Amino acid sequence: MKHLFIVNPAAGKTDRTGTVNAAVAAAFVGRSDEYEVVVSRAPGHCTKLARAACETGEELRIYACGGDGTLNEIVNGVMGFPNVAISCYPQGTGNDFIKVFSDPDAFRQLPLLLDGEESECDVIAVNGDRYAINICSMGFDARIGTQVADYKRLPMVKGKSAYLLSALVNTVRGITSPYTITLDNGQVLDGRKTLVCIANGRWYGGCFNPVPEAMPDDGLLDVLIVEPVTRMTVAAAIGRYQHGQYAQYPNLIRHHQCRSLRIQCPEPEGVNLDGELLFSKDVTFSVADQKIRFIHPRDMVW
């Protein structure tokens, strides 16, 4: 079996290419498997590198060496290729998807990953041609989340602080947007909303855990819809949302489970796909037909 490590040098605050190269070389001492380390050169390049490797048809394991955005690009590269399993060797500042596992820190121990086992995970298909493995969102939250990386690059600003700074800036810019949300059971939810979260995983933004019980293999999307709030109450509402307290506030945060939904809005809006950004005014989210093989250290649960 071949192991391919795709490094995103732009992930995190420093280029980790040298660190990854050294760790991989050390981990493969005494192992007979073939391995290769490649480095992405531009946004979207991880997807191209992953797809090119998949097209060889050989049994392959690909490791995302970066953050959630790097993992997202690789997911988009491997969809449709059953010969490939993927994992995350975390080098970014967030690495939120792996927090769904019982011991996310173990992913940093490369020998444990190399000897790891696989579990099948659902994937969110977005408009049929884009994919996300963790969490998608629209509205106030999407504007916050997709700008977090910019704030993380500021001196002394880390995960939680970057998210809160982005939230403050976007509070000033405006909170609610008009949406028409159609669930797969035919229910239509029309009107202004603060945000819509579509969860396969559990964590994002470094510190947000909106649906603690979400299962990435149950064939369902957990959808949270936050009703309109004012600038004076947004902090309290987001705090409840952040800590997964939606069930305590059914009139403010509505929870739905479905296999698909469609969101329409008057003008193109930012859509957060695992931290990556898409603009659209008509978006369909659904559970992809194909699951993804995800490698994790042994004896873990989610």
Whether residue 147 has pLDDT greater than 90: no
Inter-residue contact 144 to 135 (CB < 8 Å): no
Residue 171 — pLDDT band, cuts 50, 70, 90? confident
Residue 165 — pLDDT band, cuts 50, 70, 90? confident
Residue 148 — pLDDT band, cuts 50, 70, 90? confident
Whether residue 214 has pLDDT greater than 70: yes
**How far apart are alpha carbons 198 and 178 in whole angstroms?**
17
How many other C-beta atoms can be found within 10 angstroms of the C-beta atom of residue 185?
Answer: 10
Residue 92 — pLDDT band, cuts 50, 70, 90? confident
The domains of the chain are located at 2-123+291-296, 130-287
CATH node for 2-123+291-296:
3.40.50.10330
Residue with tokens 């998608």: 136
Q: Report DSSP letters for 96-161, one per residue.
A: -GGGGSS-GGGGG-HHHHHT-EEEEE--EEETTTEEESSEEEEEHHHHHHTTHHHHHTSTT--HHH
Question: Average pLDDT in the 280-293 region?
Answer: 97
Whether residue 86 has pLDDT greater than 90: yes
CA angle 255, 122, 45 (to 5 degrees): 115
Strands 2-7 and 60-65: parallel
Residue 158 — pLDDT band, cuts 50, 70, 90? low
Residue 146 — pLDDT band, cuts 50, 70, 90? low
**CATH classification of 130-287, choosing from 2.120.10.30, 1.50.10.10, 2.60.200.40, 1.10.1740.10?**
2.60.200.40
Whether residue 145 has pLDDT greater than 70: no
Whether residue 7 has pLDDT greater than 70: yes
Averaged confidence pLDDT in the chain: 92
Helices (H), 118-271: 140-145, 148-152, 159-173, 234-242
Per-residue pLDDT tens digits for 238-270: 889 999 999 999 999 999 999 999 999 999 988
Whether residue 151 has pLDDT greater than 90: no
Whether residue 159 has pLDDT greater than 80: no
Whether residue 41 has pLDDT greater than 80: yes
**How far apart are alpha carbons 192 and 8 in whole angstroms?**
38
What is the reported pTM?
0.91
How many other C-beta atoms can be found within 10 angstroms of the C-beta atom of residue 155?
Answer: 5
Inter-residue contact 37 to 68 (CB < 8 Å): no
pLDDT at 53: 97
Per-residue pLDDT tens digits for 176-189: 999 999 999 999 99
Share of the chain above pLDDT 90, in %: 77
Whether residue 149 has pLDDT greater than 90: no
Whether residue 45 has pLDDT greater than 70: yes
